Structure 1
Amino acid sequence: MSHRSWCLVFGIILQVFLSGAAKGEFYSSVDSMQDLAQVEQELLNATRSYLETQQQQLDFYRRYVEQIKREHEWATAQLKLDEYLGHPLHAFRLIKRLVQDWDAIIFEPILTNKPREDFRQFIEILTRDLGYPDQSELQGVIKGLARLQRVYNLTTTDLADGIINDLHYDSELEWRECYEIGVQLFDLGEYQRSLEWLQAAYELLRNAIAENNDKIQYLSDIREYAAMANFELGNPKRAGRLLNQILDPEPTHSAQQTRKYFENREPGKNIAEKNPSWFANYTRLCQGKRLPEESSGSPLKCYLDGKRHAYFTLAPLQVEPVHLDPDINVYHGMLNSKQIYSIFVEADKEEMVRSAVSGEGGKRTVRDLRVSQQTWLNYESPVMKSVSRIIQFVSGFDMAGAEYMQVANYGVGGQYEPHPDYFEVNLPENFKGDRISTSMFYLSDVEEGGYTVFTNLNVFLPPVKGAMVMWHNLHRSLDVDVRTLHAGCPVIVGSKRIGNIWMHSGYQEFRRPCNLTSDSYKSLAYRDSV
């Protein structure tokens, strides 16, 4: 590859990485993985160019060697060697070849191999200086797959066959990929799920066409990992039988070390993982299923609202009420595709970072309960000024109490487990009052999964591009409303993009005044009931 070509490749890679999105991890955002896909495309192009250059050099070496070979064959077939070398021109060619040609044409290019050195530097920049997925990224993706299985009851067999919710995707896994998932889940301590993937790998390999010796070796590797998983699950007899299947035909197999390991320690205990109290409702709602509930009057109906503000006189709000007390409303068609694209353009100017959650003392930490990436947008650009007006006119709140819009994108199995939006305690110093309301814009449709669910209210909302869902996190008394616990379900297929705007109570005294009597009894009654 020419120096100019390599400079071009380096420039593209630098542009992709230094744009900001790829500085963090990749798996927690589909947008970041798009950048990674571009990197792989450039890596593919660079590798292909390197191989083509190497092939051209090899062809040149081969032609040169063939030419010398023909010269030697002619010399020995037509003449005696001394007669051949007795000719001054023949002698000149031989000396010249040995003094100059072999060194300049063959030895130096092979030993220095400039294309190989350029390619090595390219890989070094890619993996060391610019960032590249590592083992933690692979584990993050696999944890995402396990999360999808846990929340949506997806079987390992179906996933391996590319089947999700009875829909067949052209994405069947090979035995090696199932095996890698099983190994990584074993390393993560998810032994039962690891066994399922190892079993899938075993069945695929057993039915695959492969060299007999290689197949036996790989099957033994799968059995050995399955033995270790069984041992950790408290099934030592099953683990021993699996090792016997390896060692009986091949006593010198390395699995003998695993057997010694078992003999010198106690097996694990098969203790079923206890799910949190909200998990049953969470998974049910994520799957689009509600608990049966008694009717409490007339069913909620969609309506048009042109009286909320003069701004909506000619284009009334399309309101879909989904819950009363606390009120949760979906406002459809709030943003069009052009506005959403403009928001993405603004977000691309900022750095996307892994979403964190608040811990003790208000400290922000990265945890698997929230898997996404986010950035923040102020209200200075034309599109964000438009968003600001929408929020102000719909909510009736003063935008002086609004946080910047948080734009988030979810990755493989991206989710946010049940949480409140209010702080209640450890309120950041720069906030004036707690988060009184949430306005969430859906900036994309999602092919499968990614619902917003309210686990205490029996409500699930599928993302609808351009719509906005709004609710209050505080009672009028400004006590927190614990009923508003909500979650973002894992994304199965697709990319979920949302924009959150939280409003604070400190500026809303006259916009949402207290009642004469406190309404916080509703939360107290709810807490007593659970």
Structure 2
Amino acid sequence: MAKLRHCCTVLLLLFTSVSAHSDFFTSIGHMTDLLFVERDLVSSLKDYVSAEEDKLQRIKRWADRLDALSTAGSQDPEGFLGHPVNAFKLIKRLNTEWAELESLVLTDVSDAFVSNLTIQRQHFPNDDDQTGAAKALMRLQDTYKLDTETISSGRLLGSSSVATTSSVLTMEDCYDLGKVAYSDVDYYHTELWMAQALKQLEQGEESSVVDAIAILDYLSYSVYQQGELERALAFTKKLLELDPSHQRANGNLKYFEYQLSKQKKLEVDDNDEEQRMWKENRGRRDDYLPERKQYEKLCRGEGVRMTPRRQSRLFCRYYDNGRHPRFVIGPLKQEDEWDSPHIVRYHDIVSERDMEKVKELAKPRLRRATISNPTTGVLETAQYRISKSAWLGAYEHPVVDKINRRIEDITGLDVSTAEDLQVANYGVGGQYEPHFDFGRVTDQ
């Protein structure tokens, strides 16, 4: 019990660094804290299980002893109670020992764990975080053209982590993703994830929460909303095979059949260009970015390719920036990334130790990144910027000042008029889509 209370205190201290923050899904840095908190909660849970097991063992010993006594006495009750010691002990057991056993059974060893969990839950991610993380998965799905099977199995190309059993989406996970899409009136992703949930259910996954009827209900409506009446009707019939009394499905069956008969009478041409374009672009986000296809191609590594001749003109070199005093003895490692416009990369500019110090300084101050509203000029959050950021001034730590001076030496620019060093930490499916990045000077 003392160990559980101690664990509760430790967890409370652990969360002081993140309790003031929200939007966990927008920052991997803050999500790492959640991993450690969960690990300590699991440790607390194991302590509770051990305490429960110890309690049950004590009760079992009581039961075994009392069973032996009552069995012996019931074989010859009168002879057994003829012995005055047996009579005394029977009365004593029923008067005091059973009361002690009752007290033991009623002892709630979960108090410390439940109290611990209750304290921590107020700092846990909320529904908005879960929704944000779900939308992030779907954003990655669209950007990298991943199918639901690939994501569900955890086999994500380019992922730095190895897929484990914890990286696999269960049927219930897929169902929840579909529900998030449905709540967002995103019927394209609703269909994809409900279909994946149904597939895993039919492959033998079990659930006490979700059944085929609930999945088919979402599936039929989502494909109907995308104009596919025949498939909507097929899913509805499949649902009614499982539950003939399903009220909504029976109503939908008649409606879909009626709409389908009307459609056939009008002889809708499936090759109609407008309908073809609609089907091709279904599920695409209708937002401000006309260059989205090119942008997503770049994310997938499908952008403009250099010819071998242009590639051959790119070099790596040691660079001293015109024999700058700081780089004469220790020149910079410079690499050509692109020829026109000329883009170069500098290697080993900041040491690992300095980077860790920057992260240490920034983490407690990370807040959801904002954009400036082009109309009002007010800072606000936006769905196309999924990250948290912090600002560090040169005066705050020698490391920040050293990085600023390093930038000056490399570029020849004066950072005294620049904004502070911005540290950005991206979350699940983190992104900052292409945007115009400039400031406005208001009239005085």
What range is the shorter-chain TM-score in?
0.7 to 0.9
Query: Aligned to 2:203, which of 207, 215, 223?
Result: 207
Query: Does residue 235 of the first structure (1) align with residue 228 of the second (2)?
Result: yes
Give the 3-state SS of the residue equivalent to 1:277 in structure 2.
coil
Tell me which amino acid in the other structure corresponds to 2:11. Answer: I
State the 1:423 CA deviation. Answer: 1.8
Contact 2:236-2:253 at 8 Å conserved across structures: no
Greater helix share, structure number: 2
Asked if 1:151 is matched to 2:143, the reply is yes
Cα distance, 1:299 vs structure 2: 4.2
AA matched with 2:319: D
**What is the distance in 2 between the residues matched to 1:337 and 1:297?**
31
- 1:238-260, Cα deviation, whole Å (9 max, x unpaired): 223212212234323xx423544
| C-alpha contact 1:192 1:233 (8 A) present in aligned 2 | yes
Alignment of 1:484-499 (within 5 A): none
The Cα of 1:125 is off from its aligned counterpart by 0.4
SS at the partner of 1:164?
coil
1:108 maps to: 103
**Distance of 1:41 and 1:329 partners within structure 2:** 43
**AA of the residue aligned to 1:399:** V
1:14-413 mapped onto 2 (5 Å cutoff): 14-20=12-18, 23-77=21-75, 79=76, 81-104=77-100, 106-113=101-108, 115-128=109-122, 131-165=123-157, 169-170=163-164, 171-208=167-204, 218-252=211-245, 255-260=246-251, 272=282, 273=284, 274=286, 276-291=289-304, 299-308=313-322, 309-322=324-337, 328-348=343-363, 350-359=364-373, 360-379=375-394, 380-413=396-429
> In 2, Cα distance between the equivalents of 1:407 and 1:292?
31
Q: Aligned with 1:165: secondary structure?
A: coil
Kindly indicate whether the alpha-carbon contact (under 8 Å) linking 2:175 and 2:194 is maintained by their aligned counterparts in 1: yes
Please state how far the C-alpha of 1:426 moved relative to its aligned partner: 5.9
Report how far residue 383 of structure 1 moved: 1.5
Whole-Å Cα distance in 2 between the matches of residues 323 and 292 of structure 1?
10
| 2:110 match: secondary structure | helix
Question: For residues 174 and 50 of structure 2, what CA distance do their matches in structure 1 show?
Answer: 33
C-alpha distance 192-245 of structure 1, shift in aligned 2 (>3 A): same
Paired residues of 2:321 and 2:410 also in contact (CA < 8 A): no
- Determine the structure 1 residue equivalent to 2:265: none
1-structure distance, mates of 2:120, 2:250: 41
CA distance in 2, matches of 1:425, 1:257: 58
**Closer/same/farther in 2, CA of residues 235 and 153 from structure 1, 3 Å limit:** same
Matched residue of 2:321: which SS? coil
Deviation track 1:55-91 (CA, whole Å, cap 9, x = no partner) reads 11111112112211111111122x3x24433443323
The Cα offsets for residues 345-393 of structure 1, whole Å up to 9 and x where unpaired, read as 3224x32212122214222222221111222222232211211210222
Residue in structure 2 matched with residue 518 of structure 1 by the alignment:
none
Letter matched to residue 372 of structure 2: S
Which residue is equivalent to 1:459? none
2:10 aligned partner: 12
Distance 1:420 1:292 in 2: 24
Contact residue 392 and residue 399 of structure 1 kept, 8 A: yes
Are the counterparts in 2 of residues 304 and 318 from structure 1 also a CA contact under 8 Å? Answer: yes
The Cα shift of 1:399 comes to 3.1
- Cα pair 1:305 1:318 within 8 Å, conserved: yes
Residue 298 of structure 1 deviates from its aligned partner by: 9.6
Match for 1:69: what amino acid?
Answer: D
CA contact (8 A) 2:240 2:249 kept: no
8 Å Cα contact 1:21/1:353 also seen in 2: no
Q: Which has the higher contact order (CA 8 A, sep 6+)?
A: 2
- Gaps of at least 5 residues in structure 1 are 430-530
Q: What is the CA–CA distance in structure 2 between the aligned matches of 1:87 and 1:297, rounded to whole Å?
A: 104
Residue 304 of structure 1 and its aligned partner are, at CA, apart by 3.0
Deviations 1:196-228 (A, max 9, x none): 2222222222122659xx79x722222122112
Distance 1:111 1:284, change over 3 A: same
Aligned-pair RMSD on alpha carbons? 3.2
Alignment TM-score, normalising by the size of structure 2: 0.83
Letter in 2 for 1:287: R
Deviations 1:132-189 (A, max 9, x none): 1222222111111111111111122222233223888343433232222222222222
Which one-letter code corresponds to 2:430 in the other structure? G
- Higher strand residue share: 1
Equivalent position amino acid for 1:238 in 2: R
Assess, with a 3 A threshold, how the Cα gap between structure 1 residues 374 and 223 changes in structure 2: closer, same or farther: same
Q: Distance in 2 between matches of 1:297 and 1:328?
A: 13
Provide the C-alpha distance between the structure 1 equivalents of 2:142 and 2:85, rounded to a whole number of angstroms: 81
For residue 316 of structure 1, what is the amino acid of its counterpart? P
Contact 2:131 2:180 in 1 (8 A): yes
Three-state SS of the structure 1 residue aligned to 2:376 is: helix
Return the alpha-carbon distance in structure 2 between the equivalents of residues 220 and 185 of structure 1.
Answer: 18
CA contact 2:171–2:205 (8 Å) conserved in 1:
no
1:393 aligned partner, one-letter code: D
Q: Contact (CA 8 Å) 2:237, 2:253: kept in 1 or not?
A: no
Provide the secondary structure at the position in 1 that maps to 2:349.
Answer: coil
**Shift of residue 333 of structure 1?**
1.5
Cα displacement string for residues 413-454 of structure 1 (whole angstroms, at most 9, x for unaligned residues)? 111011233123669x9xxxxxxxxxxxxxxxxxxxxxxxxx
Which stretches in structure 2 are left out of the alignment for 5+ residues? 260-274
Q: Cα–Cα, structure 1 residues 242 and 290, in superposed 2: closer, same or farther, change >3 Å? A: closer
Identical aligned pairs, as a percentage?
Answer: 26
Contact 2:5 2:112 (8 Å CA) reproduced: no
